[in-house]
Chains A and B, each alone.
Chain A
């Protein structure tokens, strides 16, 4: 459990093979730390919240991911957790972030069953685009409240390495494939989110392009743009085809599409 929580927070467990503590699994890199955390976990009455708090308050959790060439040379794979590793957002987080940033997310827990309890058909056959299943996925609630149908993993989730629900899986695959790029470039979910933000930002501030770029950076990356980024983005806005809303939406979509949106520093 401790190793799994660690793995969720750091992208890699203290024991690399999170599903395998046996002889054929990997050897823990820091066995004392694992024991220490496990003992504390027991002492805290098996409280997962306390465990998470203990870890996220640590220095190692707060290390930054940027590092020098020399640091990299010393520990290329970051086995010793001497810095943070860049971590990919999981499928659910990509979806929730897009919904949240575009102001669509309903953060409340939806009441009742995640799926119409009066449905009487065969769910395994209801899959493949049936309206009940589509409706269940279309609600702008947090992904954690969405139902998981083994026969129908939403396309967005399967593109971004959602875990196969048939199997025990303590660590998801992390793949980098063109379909992910195509999703960010062409999927209406992304296009629509970008367009909503563009509309909202332009309503408040229709003219100042630098200010618009700064707002986009703050929303998508949670930081201010570097001067060079600001110049690039403003010139992109100027040269983009279409009316201002379309131009701004294209910039926002580009920000979503860039790797920085999908990686936690």
Chain B
């Protein structure tokens, strides 16, 4: 590559020659656009925007699997053991804001593993991995409504459209497989829509690709009407037309994104069905994820796909499971939800460990907020929203296993010790990936933006 070609003025005259000689063609150009705009990207003159980039410092985790539980699962029935809440069942507590009687945890907690981590009876299988889990009990978030809190968890912002966590991670680190998207989200649902996996002002290559396995993975992945060779020459024509439009609008990042999307789409037609095809997995592996059981099969398949995607080099994988908004029907719905995910998640952790992937894969579990210690209305079978205190957990990827970090008050209402806001959570995730959240910036609208805005403190206590 001619060094002088990096100057935009000199690039244009022999654009075609350059494109022909560069293996990744327009991907490289898109990267140039990116490099010109971004302070963080000037460290490596890679070819593709998705090419792997070195982290800021030694990374503990190389990839992320985020198990998002949409609807706000109750921390009080799952991972935040509050004996005092049990003792004060039926009493009232707090001021007028905390209306309703206290409701004891509806499921038993037991110390699990060597570490004795208290986990409820809803997770018998996952409990076997207690010594891998790092419970984060001191989380809090700024908004108690699902849409805002969901968007905040994904993007760090309640009221603006901002790049999502996965997009920032992929922007920071690229991806190690150029034939798959760097950021994949399986069955996204719930409030926020595309904003939760969008790239906002970051280049479009970093946004999450939505994959719906029941519908064949990605829609229209099969070509019904022509041979691969015929389609290739058709795409060549499309790209020639696209380049001609781009030459009339030089530097248009969207058009560069279109060009790149066709190359990726063509390659995805072989790579996606391959990676989502679970038939090559042994019976034993499938049953480890609960795929042989009706109750756990759906989530199990997604967990197994997540492992396959992780293995294939995808940087950020998200699985979404909705239905955690237990204003009522707390006992039954929680039991149903947890049974559906317990075995698959345990299988995922075990499988990752067996393949030596757990050490550098960060697994994150959690929802947008938690639930109130008080019951919702009468009947005692539901809880209200609670954004002041809730729990998530992490495993693998350089976090301390068998460890409880942070705490809520004795009733589980407010985070009081080692509190972690959404920004702190994001800063910590980036830190585990070797990225300094204050240095991972993107220049847009005249200033440098960060995932964590001007906030965020790394929870160094959870590092192994």
A169–chain B nearest beta-carbon distance, Å: 9
| B255 & A259 in contact (Cβ 8 Å cutoff) | yes
Closest Cβ–Cβ distance, residue A72 to chain B (whole Å): 6
Given contacts A182-B265, A228-B244, A239-B233, 20 further A-B contacts (CB under 8 A): A66-B249, A77-B445, A86-B252, A86-B255, A166-B191, A177-B207, A178-B261, A179-B209, A181-B261, A182-B220, A182-B269, A186-B221, A186-B222, A253-B234, A257-B235, A258-B241, A259-B241, A259-B245, A259-B259, A262-B258
Stretch at the interface among A43-51, A96-104, A110-118, A229-237: A229-237
Q: Chain A: which residue is nearest B257 at the CB level?
A: A176
Residues on A with beta carbons closer than 8 Å to the beta carbon of B240: 232
Q: Which residues of the other chain, B, contact A176 by a CB distance below 8 angstroms?
A: 204, 254, 257-258, 261
> Is A120 part of the binding interface, using a Cβ–Cβ cutoff of 8 Å?
no
| A72, B225: Cβ atoms closer than 8 Å | no
Give every chain B residue within 8 A of A17 (Cβ-Cβ): 160
Chain A nearest CB from B118 CB (Å) reads 37
Q: Which residues of A contact B251 (CB under 8 A)?
A: 72, 76
Tally B residues with Cβ within 8 Å of A: 58
A sample of 30 cross-chain residue pairs with beta-carbon separation below 8 angstroms, ordered by A number, consists of A24-B160, A66-B249, A67-B249, A86-B252, A86-B255, A161-B194, A164-B194, A175-B207, A177-B207, A177-B209, A178-B261, A178-B268, A179-B210, A179-B218, A182-B218, A182-B268, A185-B231, A186-B220, A188-B224, A229-B241, A229-B244, A239-B233, A241-B226, A241-B230, A254-B234, A254-B241, A257-B238, A259-B242, A259-B255, A263-B255
Question: Which residues of B from 136 to 176 have beta carbons under 8 Å from A?
Answer: 147, 159-161
CB of B83 within 8 A of chain A?
no
In the bound complex, how far is the Cα of B231 from the Cα of A189, in angstroms? 17
Whole-angstrom CA separation of A161 from B259 in the bound complex: 18
CB of B198 within 8 A of CB of A175, answer yes
Q: What residues of chain B lie closer than 8 Å to A88, measured between beta carbons?
A: 254
Chain A residues within 8 Å of chain B by Cβ, number:
55
Tell me the complex Cα distance, A241–B228, Å: 12
Q: Give the distance in Å from the alpha carbon of A231 to the alpha carbon of B244 in the complex.
A: 14
| A183 x B219 contact (CB < 8 A) | yes
Q: How far is the CB of A27 from chain B (nearest CB, A)?
A: 11
A-side contacts of B238, CB under 8 Å: 254, 257-258
Identify whether the interface residues of B are mostly helix, strand, loop, or mixed.
helix
B5 within 8 A of A: no
Which A residues are CB-close (under 8 A) to B268? 178, 182
8 A Cβ contacts from B295-315 to A: none
Q: In the complex, what residues of A have CB within 8 A of residue B378's CB?
A: none
Are A178's CB and B181's CB within 8 A? yes
How many Å lie between the Cα of A240 and that of B237 in the bound state?
A: 11
Interface status of A159 (Cβ within 8 A of chain B): yes
Give the residue name and chain of the A residue nearest to B251 (CB): A72
Kindly state whether residue B338 has any CB partner on chain A within 8 Å: no
Interface of A toward B, CB cutoff 8 Å: 17, 20, 24, 65-67, 69, 72, 76-77, 86, 88, 155, 159, 161, 164, 166-167, 173-183, 185-188, 191, 226, 228-229, 232-233, 236, 239-242, 250-251, 253-255, 257-260, 262-263
Question: Contacts of A24 on B, CB cut-off 8 Å?
Answer: 159-160
CB distance from A105 to the nearest CB of B (A): 22
Interface contact A167-B261, CB-CB below 8 Å: no
User: Given the complex of chains A and B, what is the CA–CA distance between A120 and B238 in angstroms?
Assistant: 46
Q: How far is the CA of A88 from the CA of B387 in the complex (A)?
A: 38
* Docked complex Cα distance between A173 and B199 (Å): 10
Query: How far is B231's CA from A183's CA once the two chains are assembled, in angstroms?
Result: 13
The answer to whether B193 touches A167, judged by C-beta atoms less than 8 angstroms apart, is yes
Q: Let me know if B223 is at the binding interface, CB within 8 A.
A: yes
Cα A257 to Cα B269 with chains together (Å): 16
For residue A101, give the distance in angstroms from its CB to the closest CB of chain B. 16
Is the CB–CB distance between B209 and A185 below 8 Å? no
Shortest CB distance B45–A (Å): 22
User: CB distance A181 to B262 under 8 Å?
Assistant: yes
Rounded to whole angstroms, the CA-CA distance of A181 and B261 in the bound complex is 6
B280 close to A (CB within 8 Å):
no
- CA A236 to CA B193, docked complex, whole Å: 40
Would you call A72 and B250 a contact (CB within 8 A)?
yes
**Residue from the set A179, A183, A240, A255 with the largest chain B CB neighbour count within 10 Å:** A179
Contact B194–A175 (Cβ < 8 Å): yes
Chain B residues within 8 Å of A259, by CB: 241-242, 245-246, 255, 258-259
Q: How far is the CA of A167 from the CA of B195 in the complex (A)?
A: 11
Q: Is the CB of A179 within 8 A of B249?
A: no
Say whether A167 contacts B181, CB under 8 Å: no
Contacts of A178 in B (CB 8 A): 181, 209, 218, 261-262, 264-265, 268
State how many angstroms separate the Cβ of B270 from the closest Cβ of chain A.
Answer: 13
Q: Which residues of A contact B269 (CB under 8 A)?
A: 182
B227 at the interface (CB under 8 A from A): yes
Top 4 A-B pairs ranked by shortest CB distance? A176-B257, A181-B265, A164-B193, A258-B241
Q: Does B355 contact A (CB under 8 A)?
A: no
B248 at the interface (CB under 8 A from A): yes
Q: Is the CB of A175 within 8 A of B220?
A: no
Q: Which residues of A contact B246 (CB under 8 A)?
A: 259
